[in-house]
Amino acid sequence: MAENNVMTKITDNLLKVYDYAFLEGATYGFYKPNDAMYVGVRMTEKQYNCPGCGRSFRVKIRNDNDGILYFSKGRIAEQKKIYDELDMDFPADWELMEKPYTYQLSGYCADCAAEKLLASEEWGQRINNLCHELYLQDMLVSDKAKQYMTDAVERWLNGIESADELTRFDLANPEILQELIWIMVLSDTEACEKALQEYRDSVQPILYELKELLEQATPAWKAYVARSSSLPESMSDGEYHEYTLAFPAEDTVGQDFYFRRSVEKSRVEMFVSQHRIASIQELLADAGFQEKWIDMVMDKANELLK
Ligand SMILES: [Zn+2]
């Protein structure tokens, strides 16, 4: 596993495999869409409609490719159905390219999901919920480590009172500077070790329950999966490419919505059985060196030299 870490970080890998198991079904292709298979749509926003509470949430779409996105014909048919269910008039063919189009989705909001889905005892939903929790814990421990390592750099710098404590090192040499900072980070890992222990404590029972549930699971099932509104989404059912991807505007605040979709057991097992951060060395290496630490040290040196 160790030689693997240089190329792919453990959390990056977990993120990709989670995405593969629960979110992205289509494969990526490089080509320009042709008219026989795709319909150009001037899509400017998405509207999430929650069937639980009836509330709706809007997300603006980034204006790429002259504002036109390409929908597969299957997706257009699906949109017509959703418009119908929402009792709205679907635009005429000529309007799709000309007038701003709102993409409609039907998915439970986080509040309704907490009430209806997260407490579900139904095994398929339970597996999805546990995997989502596992994924959040995987990401959380890495985020915590990044923060605690920065705190360690800050603590070290706060304890420095005279400039020569820093200037006796060759700060102009990036390698020496980086090594110096690493040594300080490695000498103050208590908070990271605590975070790792908390991660282990929360992940172990999740993995245990997942293994038991998966032993009895069928090869595929349908259940609700959380998807953030800040993620790009393809408007094509089969292959997706740059002309079918709707990117939310930069300032979009991510909110989870829950959609029913089929999940394959083999993909879920792949996610569950991935290597996870198991030691403090792996946690620190995974969180990695942060360029801003160099700025912090230089700022401190300059401040003391004044
Ligand atoms: Zn709701």
Q: What is the pLDDT of residues 139-159, one digit of tens each?
A: 999 999 999 999 999 999 999
Which residues face 228 on adjacent strands? Answer: 256
Res. 2 pLDDT band, cuts 50 70 90: very low
Tell me, in angstroms, the distance from the centre of ligand 1 to residue 184's CA.
47
**pLDDT one-digit tens code per residue, 267-277:** 999 999 999 99
Helices (H), the chain: 2-7, 10-22, 73-85, 93-98, 110-116, 123-158, 164-167, 174-186, 190-216, 265-272, 280-287, 291-305
Tell me, in angstroms, the distance from the centre of ligand 1 to residue 105's CA.
13
Looking at 46-60, 198-212, 240-254, which range is the least confident one?
240-254
Tell me, in angstroms, the distance from the centre of ligand 1 to residue 149's CA.
38
pLDDT above 90: percentage of residues in the chain: 72
String of b and e for 283-305 (b: at least 16 CB within 10 Å)? bbbbbeeeeebbebbeebbeebe
Looking at residue 5, what is its pLDDT? 43
Tell me, in angstroms, the distance from the centre of ligand 1 to residue 119's CA.
15
Tell me, in angstroms, the distance from the centre of ligand 1 to residue 72's CA.
29
Tell me, in angstroms, the distance from the centre of ligand 1 to residue 50's CA.
5
Q: Which residue has the higher pLDDT, 206 or 305?
A: 206
Contacts of 50 (CB under 8 A, 6+ apart): 56, 57, 106, 107, 108, 109, 112, 257
**pLDDT one-digit tens code per residue, 53-83:** 999 999 999 987 788 999 999 999 999 999 9
CA-closest candidate to residue 152, choices 177, 186, 123: 186
Looking at residue 19, what is its pLDDT? 81
**pLDDT one-digit tens code per residue, 3-46:** 444 457 888 888 888 888 887 666 666 667 777 889 999 999 99
Rounded distance, CA 124 to CA 226, Å? Answer: 14
For the cut 50, the answer to whether the pLDDT of residue 203 exceeds it is yes
Looking at residue 244, what is its pLDDT? 87
Residue 247: DSSP 8-state: P
Tell me, in angstroms, the distance from the centre of ligand 1 to residue 102's CA.
20
Rounded distance, CA 36 to CA 246, Å? Answer: 21
For the cut 80, the answer to whether the pLDDT of residue 125 exceeds it is yes
Does the predicted TM-score (pTM) go above 0.85?
no
pLDDT above 70: percentage of residues in the chain: 95
Tell me, in angstroms, the distance from the centre of ligand 1 to residue 262's CA.
22
Looking at residue 161, what is its pLDDT? 92
Tell me, in angstroms, the distance from the centre of ligand 1 to residue 258's CA.
10
Rounded distance, CA 103 to CA 233, Å? Answer: 11
